[in-house]
Amino acid sequence: MKGLGGFHLACDATNSAAVTELRLRKRRDEKPFAVMAATLAAAEDIADLDADERHLLLSVERPIVLARRRPSAPVAPAVAPGNPLVGVMLPYAPLHHLLLAASGRPLVMTSGNLSEEPLAYRNDDALARLAGIADLFLFHDREIDTRCDDSVARVIAGAPVVVRRSRGYVPRGIAAGERFQEPVLACGALLKNTFCLGVDGTAYLARTSAISRTSRPTKRTSTPSNAWSASSARNQSSSPTISTRTTCRRATL
């Protein structure tokens, strides 16, 4: 399913067979899947949320929120095997609202890629790379300039802590303790990497890029550095916008 920053792989979060099959196809052994719930009330059926976690779920950034899973949660154990926490999030794009309303149940929403590969964000790339995983493809006609994974956060000691800073938070700057005497570029690390630009009194963090040791860089058109923030910002809007056309296509193996 095409979203704001790339493709999701989705399945019925209540169906153990479907979740297990997705793990096999995605080559993801035990790492937890995120679950998208249609409403805050549905999210509270899955996780034991306090006021701060509810506020974080409803924030404009719409991150995946790590919270304690309820023993009675209506999700398959394979969603987060052996883990007392579950990652829940709310819809942040029009297709999410439509799909959750039509399905009537929580859905696994995990990044559209094989484990440790970059997120697929273009239609042709998704068809080529995900045909062996997905049974169906749901597209819309809004182009995505830059891939951007879902952000992950949790509440610790009453304060939100961002575990993965990406969609919704970037390229928003962070106030630095002191002004930079000159522009600074920090890069790293090898896996799950990002970079940071320090200018004046602000640090600008890029979104996380899940690149593996074996991934090959893809050829991209050159983008001026001063367009980076503008192009990323267009992708981070959490305000619902109406897609002019959606397409559902069956995968051909």
| Mean pLDDT of the region 111-137 | 92
In this structure, are residues 116 and 212 in contact, taking their beta carbons and an 8 Å threshold? Answer: yes
Q: How far is CA 64 from the centre of its chain?
A: 7
| Mean pLDDT of the region 208-219 | 51
Average of per-residue pLDDT values in the chain? 84
C-alpha to C-alpha distances, 36 to 16, 114, 146, 177, nearest whole angstrom: 16, 20, 22, 36
In this structure, are residues 63 and 150 in contact, taking their beta carbons and an 8 Å threshold? Answer: yes
| Mean pLDDT of the region 27-48 | 96
Q: Any idea what the Cα angle at residue 171 is, between residues 130 and 236, rounded to 5°?
A: 50
Q: What is the DSSP string of 81-121?
A: TT-SEEEEE---SHHHHHHHHHH-S-EEEEESSSTTSPPP-
Rounded Cα distance between 94 and 28, Å, is 28
Which pLDDT score is estimated for 209? 66
Taken as a whole, the chain contains a residue count of 253
pLDDT in tens, 164-177: 989 999 888 999 98
| Mean pLDDT of the region 147-163 | 93
> Using CB atoms within 10 A of its CB, is residue 157 exposed (0-12), middle (13-18) or buried (19+)?
exposed
Strands 194-199 and 202-205 come out as: antiparallel
Which pLDDT score is estimated for 205? 87
Token reading at 224: 């001026």
Strands 107-111 and 184-188 come out as: unpaired
| Mean pLDDT of the region 216-237 | 36
Query: Is residue 158 predicted with pLDDT exceeding 50?
Result: yes
Q: Spell out the alpha helix ranges (H) of the chain.
A: 16-26, 40-46, 51-58, 94-103, 123-130, 228-236
Which pLDDT score is estimated for 91? 97
Which pLDDT score is estimated for 84? 96
Question: Quick one: pLDDT band at residue 207, thresholds 50, 70, 90?
Answer: confident
Which pLDDT score is estimated for 191? 63
Which pLDDT score is estimated for 227? 31
Q: What is the DSSP string of 132-194?
A: TT-SEEEEES---SS--PPPEEEEETTEEEEEE--TTTTT-EEE-SS--SS-EEEEE-SSSBE
The CB-side HSE value for 41 (13 A sphere, CA atoms) comes to: 0
pLDDT in tens, 53-91: 999 999 999 999 999 999 999 999 999 999 999 999 999
* Residue 125 CB contacts under 8 Å (≥ 6 apart), including other chains: none
Name the nearest CA neighbour of 193 among 180, 203, 205: 205
Name the nearest CA neighbour of 231 among 166, 119, 146, 122: 146
Tell the residue number behind the tokens 């929403």, with chain if given.
109
Question: Quick one: pLDDT band at residue 251, thresholds 50, 70, 90?
Answer: very low
In this structure, are residues 65 and 48 in contact, taking their beta carbons and an 8 Å threshold? Answer: no
What is the enclosing helix (H) or strand (E) of 117?
Answer: none
pLDDT in tens, 100-123: 999 999 999 999 998 778 899 999
Question: Quick one: pLDDT band at residue 192, thresholds 50, 70, 90?
Answer: low
